[in-house]
């Protein structure tokens, strides 16, 4: 029934969705909280330099594994392009 | 959980899932019946106060006189609330109240009842209600190990993951996964997550794979668990029972000659 063979299988879609979903579930960090964190980070860094808030990327990722997948340490990953290092 | 001292070889297993309708009650009934068929003394406890179902799945709904809430409130002795199974020697059911709510029992009271039952039984199996509220807290309070039931669906897996997190936070050391209602035809088409996929995501040991089998509905209609029968799900439940007893059983070939199952088996044999 793969009429659209160029599309991902629904199984793969489910796995991809779950992976992202469970990372945020496990660290109990909702998208709303992420937005608040993002806003605060912008506020702090903007005190010292001019940053590109439109193109910044902040997310929680699972990095490295200890014994099994459940014990992956979540990492807050932030990629913030700097427009001007000496704005102040 | 911390009951290593004074424990006389009775294992208390909670069957839980988070999401409703994935097969907790069916799993409880079949695992309990399967253990009893092997000569173990088994007590099944329905902890889903207000929405009891284990009694109908076991076909014992007409024999209920007293229930778990009566025991807790002191209206009867533990023994009076235990219903003897129709077919299997050594299998008993403690039903719960249908007309009360979850707050009628506390985790402390649950532990007390279980401590009492541990003296007489080899296995106590707790059928947990859906959700993560008081009913769940009651069900896990006195348990040593957990069976987490899920289906290969996003919603069920997400809830199972949450449940596993909560069980770990509550000190559970042994949490095993039962994947229910797998359909080989859909897996082959790429339209259903395989057992390997689910285990990869949840990262807990697999103890059973139960194929989607219409005979489960038929057996529930009749109030007779199908464990021990030759039906695919019956065989799957028998295998789960064996693994609970600590035996190594290869995971079943849901359909003849599919290398996929050998793959799954391989993963767990190396662990």
CA distance B220 to B244: 23
Question: Chain B interface residues facing chain A, Cβ-Cβ under 8 Å?
Answer: 153-154, 157-158, 161-162, 164-165, 168, 187, 189-194, 197, 200-204
Chain B, nearest residue to A14 by Cα: B154
Q: Do B165 and A12 count as a contact with CB atoms less than 8 A apart?
A: no
B239 bridge partner residues: none
Q: Are B209 and B251 in contact (CB under 8 A)?
A: yes
Query: Does B165 have pLDDT greater than 80?
Result: yes
**Given B158, B168, B197, which is nearest A21 (Cβ)?**
B158
Q: Do A70 and B168 count as a contact with CB atoms less than 8 A apart?
A: yes
CA distance B164 to B14: 12
Instruction: Supply the pLDDT for residue B6.
Output: 45
* pLDDT over 90, % of chain B: 88
Instruction: Supply the pLDDT for residue B271.
Output: 39
Q: How confident is the model at residue A58 (pLDDT cuts 50, 70, 90)?
A: confident
Please tell me the number of Cα atoms within 13 Å of B160 on its side-chain side: 31
User: Shortest Cα distance from B218 to chain A (angstroms)?
Assistant: 29
pLDDT tens sequence across B198-240: 999 999 999 999 999 999 999 999 999 999 999 999 999 999 9
**Given A9, A19, A68, which is nearest B191 (Cβ)?**
A9
Query: Does B59 have pLDDT greater than 50?
Result: yes
CA distance B135 to B137: 5
Q: What phi and psi values does residue A65 have, to the nearest 5 degrees?
A: -130, 140
Mean pLDDT of the region B98-121: 95
A34, part of any domain: yes
Instruction: Supply the pLDDT for residue B270.
Output: 44
A39, part of any domain: yes
Q: Do B200 and A22 count as a contact with CB atoms less than 8 A apart?
A: no
Task: Using a CB–CB cutoff of 8 Å, tell me whether A5 touches chain B.
Answer: no
Does the interface predicted TM-score (ipTM) exceed 0.95? no
Please tell me the number of Cα atoms within 13 Å of B40 on its side-chain side: 23
The boundaries of the domain holding residue A73 are 29-84
Q: Are B95 and B29 in contact (CB under 8 A)?
A: no
Give the A:B interface size as CB pairs under 8 Å. 52
User: Shortest Cα distance from B179 to chain A (angstroms)?
Assistant: 15
Instruction: Supply the pLDDT for residue A34.
Output: 81
Give the number of domains in chain A. 1
A52, part of any domain: yes
Chain A, nearest residue to B189 by Cα: A1
Query: Does B263 have pLDDT greater than 70?
Result: no
CA distance B180 to B171: 25
Q: Are B164 and B137 in contact (CB under 8 A)?
A: no
A60, part of any domain: yes
Task: Using a CB–CB cutoff of 8 Å, tell me whether A22 touches chain B.
Answer: yes
Question: B257 or B161: whose pLDDT is higher?
Answer: B161
User: Shortest Cα distance from B72 to chain A (angstroms)?
Assistant: 35
Q: Contacts of residue A25 in chain B, CB cutoff 8 Å? A: 158, 161-162, 165
For domain B11-270, give the fold.
Answer: Rossmann fold (3.40.50)
B145 bridge partner residues: B13, B174
């Amino acid at each position: 029934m793969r009429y659209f063979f160029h599309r991902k299988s629904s199984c793969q879609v489910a796995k991809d969705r779950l992976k992202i979903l469970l990372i945020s579930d496990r660290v109990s960090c909702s998208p709303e909280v992420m937005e608040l964190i993002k806003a605060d980070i912008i506020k702090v860094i903007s005190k010292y330099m001019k940053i590109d808030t439109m193109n910044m990327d902040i997310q929680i990722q699972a990095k490295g594994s200890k014994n099994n997948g459940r014990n992956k340490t979540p990492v807050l990953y932030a990629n913030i392009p700097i427009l001007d290092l000496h704005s102040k | 959980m911390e009951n290593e001292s004074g424990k006389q070889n009775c294992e208390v297993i909670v069957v839980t899932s988070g999401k409703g309708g994935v097969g907790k009650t069916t799993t409880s009934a079949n695992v309990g019946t399967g253990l009893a068929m092997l000569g173990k003394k088994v007590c099944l406890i329905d902890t889903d106060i207000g929405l009891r179902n284990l009694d109908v799945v076991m076909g014992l709904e007409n024999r209920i006189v007293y229930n778990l809430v009566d025991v807790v409130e002191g209206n009867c002795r533990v023994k009076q609330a235990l219903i003897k199974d129709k077919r299997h020697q050594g299998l008993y059911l403690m039903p719960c109240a249908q007309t009360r709510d979850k707050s009628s029992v506390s985790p402390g009271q649950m532990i007390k009842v279980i401590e009492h039952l541990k003296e007489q039984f080899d296995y106590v199996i707790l059928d947990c209600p859906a959700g993560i509220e008081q009913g769940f807290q009651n069900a896990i309070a006195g348990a040593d190990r957990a069976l987490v039931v899920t289906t290969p669906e996003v919603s069920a897996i997400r809830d199972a993951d949450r449940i596993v997190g909560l069980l770990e936070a509550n000190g559970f050391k042994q949490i095993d996964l039962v994947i229910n209602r797998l359909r080989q035809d859909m897996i082959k088409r790429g339209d259903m997550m395989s057992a390997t996929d689910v285990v990869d995501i949840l990262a807990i040991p697999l103890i059973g794979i139960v194929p989607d089998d219409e005979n489960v509905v038929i057996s529930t209609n009749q109030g007779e668990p199908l464990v021990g029968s030759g039906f695919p799900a019956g065989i799957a439940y028998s295998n789960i029972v064996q693994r609970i007893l600590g035996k190594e059983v290869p995971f079943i070939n849901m359909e003849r000659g599919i290398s996929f199952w050998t793959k799954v088996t391989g993963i767990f044999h190396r662990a």
